[in-house]
Amino acid sequence: MRLAFLVAGVGTMACGPLAWWYIRNSPREHPMVNDAEARYIGEAHAAEDAQNPQAAGRSWTAYFRFRSVWGMCLGWMFFNAVFYGMLTWLPSYLFKVHGFDIKILGGATFIIFFAGFVGELLGGWISDKWRARGGKPNQVYRTLFAVAAVFTTGTIFAVAYAKNPIAVVALLSVALFFLRWCGMYWAIPSILATRDRAGFLGGCMNLGGNIAGITVPIIVGFIVQITGSYFLAMMFFAAASVALLICSSVIDYSRKLPV
């Protein structure tokens, strides 16, 4: 156990110098980018800036007048309510409710979250293919987020009533598979904002997600402690998935905001 923390800590620390050495502020500063690539990127940026001129003097707080921004921030918050809630309480749930020992618990957790990894890749691939074939942004993103939220809600609701441990692992794997489609939320800041302000919207969105990451494990802990059961905790996750569906549906993915 200690060795695992040591490897994770040293590996994370090593990423800092590696990123400092490899990442540059602009493509032209990177030794692996040739002139043709740098020119192509520069022309693409110039075309984007010409189409979406920067709004000089406009306050960044003006973004919060738009429904899409609130939908993005709250949608990511509800996504993280489910994801971090399951990340922190899933092992305890499988151990206490379904009697998984440490070996089975490790394997089951790996299967469930690996399904989420595969789902995130597949969701992005479907989105790219659909858009390349002419799919409209609102049609593509609203449909994929709706599918993700509906399947997540349904499978988590089913988990609350499932008694067979194998069925529980299968249902949770399906839930994470579709939930992780919402990794595409990270495309939304650049959809809604110009290049110079996409980072601001991304930070606002991530703030909402981290609020859920901090509070939801505490909330779930209180629910389990007060009720002595994980049933209402599962209902809480299902309700968060429904809220994710609503928030994803109110975002306009078709245009940049006039800010």
Give CA–CA dist 226/224, Å, rounded: 6
The predicted-structure confidence for 53-87, as pLDDT tens digits, reads as follows 555 556 788 899 999 999 999 999 999 999 999 99
CATH topology for 66-249 is Growth Hormone; Chain: A; (1.20.1250)
In the chain, which stretches have pLDDT less than 50? none
Checking phi first, is residue 57 left (phi over 0); if not, alpha (psi -120 to 50) or beta?
A: left
pTM: 0.87
pLDDT, position 131: 94
Domain ranges (residues) in the chain:
1-51, 66-249
pLDDT, position 23: 86
pLDDT, position 57: 53
Checking phi first, is residue 134 left (phi over 0); if not, alpha (psi -120 to 50) or beta?
A: left
- Which residue shows structure tokens 């905001």? 257
Checking phi first, is residue 83 left (phi over 0); if not, alpha (psi -120 to 50) or beta?
A: alpha
Give CA–CA dist 1/13, Å, rounded: 19
127 and 137 Cβ atoms separated by less than 8 Å: no
